[in-house]
Structure 1
Amino acid sequence: MHSIKDTIWEVVFSILPITIVITILQFTLIWLPLETFLQFLIGVGFVGIGLVLFLLGVNVGLLPVGEMIGSALSKTKKLWLIVFFGFLVGTVVTVAEPDVRVLSSQVDQVSGGAIPQNILILAVALGVGVFVGLAMLRIVFNIKLVYLLAGGYGLIFLLAAFTPSTYVPISFDSGGVTTGPLTVPFILALGVGVTSVMGGKSASGDGFGIVALASIGPILSVLVLGVIYG
């Protein structure tokens, strides 16, 4: 019960500032129609309820399961299994990410269907999956994160030179939306679970950085998509 109360207060303090700002603007500058403003307040209420339920679900279900999966994979001592399921989990959790679907629908709308919504979602999901698998390799072989980040972003800037300019901002936004409320908790928990049973490694150190790597994948995949479609 204490955890539920803490979650509720956390959500209240998260959405209260934007609610206050919009309310002040409503009665000073913008003067939205009363019906629209009431819809905003109702929406805030729904968002608050949804966030409470979501955060409870993350703490009760996603985080423990992610850590258990990571620990179980590490105990098998089979590198291909760890990498494969890292790729698989990264892919499927990204397909379910709400932020990715919002971006894909917006891109489909403004591009007039030139970039199909399902193709973009698949490209982003595969990009995340590949780099989550790479993050598993980094944990196993204790590769320095800075090398992978430098190589990844070097490849991004190289590809950007050959990609139509329309796709470049979309690709970077694709990297941003993968750091959403569903993807991040699960893959972070997966990384911490893998490092928790790897001898001589620190879960607090090696378990992090996985989100930074996962964000590179969709940028590269959308840039490749731009080369193909462009």
Structure 2
Amino acid sequence: MDNIKETILEVILSILPITIVITILQFTLIWLPMEMFLQFLIGVLMVGAGLILFLLGVNIGLLPVGEMIGSALSKTKKVWLIVFFGFLLGLVVTIAEPDVRVLSSQVDQVSGGQIPMDILILAVAIGVAIFVALAMVRIIFSINIVYLLAGGYALVFLLAAFTPSVFVPISFDAGGVTTGPLTVPFILALGVGVASVMKGKSSSSDGFGLVALASIGPILSVLLLGVIYG
């Protein structure tokens, strides 16, 4: 019950500021048609209800399951199994990420279908999956995350020099949308679960940094897509 109250309060505090600002603008500057403003208020209520249910689902289901999967995989002591399922889970969670679908539909619309929605979603998902698998390797072999981040962004700037300019902003937006409300909780929980078994509870903080690595993958994959389409 306390968890439900905290979630409701968190959502209200998140939505209330933008609702107040738009309401003030409505009656001072923009003066939208009243029908559209009422649609906005109804949308706010729907978003609030959806976020409450979503966050409860994340806390009750996704976080515990992600951590348990990471722990169970680590107990097998099979590196290839941990890396493979890290790749697979990164792939399917990203495909399900709402933010990725929003970006893909916008890009598809703006490009007039030249960059198909399904291709972009798949490219982003594969990019995330590869770097989640790489993050599993980092946890297992205690690789310094600074080297991986430096190497990843070096590749990003190298590829950006050979990619049509239109793909560069899309690629960085693709990296941003993978830090959405579905991907982040699950991937973080997975990493913490793997680290807690492989390195002990005292070193479970090694499970963090997965999101930073995972966001590089989509940037690289979309830049590669640009090289291909370019």
User: TM class, shorter-chain normalised?
Assistant: over 0.9
Deviation at 1:167, TM superposition (A): 0.4
Deviation at 1:205, TM superposition (A): 2.2
Q: Distance in 1 between matches of 2:204 and 2:79?
A: 21
Deviation at 1:20, TM superposition (A): 0.3
* Number of the residue aligned with 2:178: 178
Q: Measured at CA, do residues 202 and 158 of structure 1 come closer, stay the same or move farther in structure 2, by a change above 3 Å?
A: farther
Q: List alignment gaps of at least 5 residues for structure 2.
A: none
What's the C-alpha RMSD, in Å, of the aligned pairs? Answer: 0.9
Q: Distance in 2 between matches of 1:57 and 1:177?
A: 20
Q: Distance in 2 between matches of 1:199 and 1:179?
A: 26
Query: How far does the alpha carbon of each residue in 1:15-67 deviate from its partner, in whole angstroms, 9 at most, with x for none?
Result: 00000000000000000000000000000000000000000000000000000
Q: State the TM-score, normalizing by the size of structure 2.
A: 0.99
Letter in 2 for 1:197: V
The yes-or-no answer on 1:49 pairing with 2:54 is no
* Number of the residue aligned with 1:146: 146
Q: Measured at CA, do residues 42 and 179 of structure 1 come closer, stay the same or move farther in structure 2, by a change above 3 Å?
A: same
The yes-or-no answer on 1:217 pairing with 2:227 is no
Counterpart mapping for 1:26-41 below 5 A = 26-41=26-41
Deviation at 1:2, TM superposition (A): 1.2
CA contact (8 A) 1:195 1:202 kept: no
Q: Distance in 2 between matches of 1:187 and 1:175?
A: 15
Q: Measured at CA, do residues 200 and 12 of structure 1 come closer, stay the same or move farther in structure 2, by a change above 3 Å?
A: closer
Q: Distance in 1 between matches of 2:56 and 2:114?
A: 39
CA contact (8 A) 1:192 1:203 kept: no
Letter in 1 for 2:134: L
Secondary structure of 2:9 counterpart: helix
Q: Distance in 2 between matches of 1:205 and 1:2?
A: 27
CA contact (8 A) 2:91 2:125 kept: yes
Secondary structure of 1:59 counterpart: helix
Counterpart mapping for 1:150-169 below 5 A = 150-169=150-169
CA contact (8 A) 1:163 1:226 kept: yes
Q: Measured at CA, do residues 38 and 203 of structure 1 come closer, stay the same or move farther in structure 2, by a change above 3 Å?
A: farther
Identity within the alignment, %:
83
Counterpart mapping for 1:1-230 below 5 A = 1-199=1-199, 202-230=202-230
Q: List alignment gaps of at least 5 residues for structure 1.
A: none
Q: Distance in 2 between matches of 1:99 and 1:200?
A: 34
Deviation at 1:199, TM superposition (A): 3.1
Q: Measured at CA, do residues 204 and 79 of structure 1 come closer, stay the same or move farther in structure 2, by a change above 3 Å?
A: closer
Secondary structure of 2:198 counterpart: coil
Q: State the TM-score, normalizing by the size of structure 1.
A: 0.99
Q: Distance in 2 between matches of 1:201 and 1:21?
A: 44
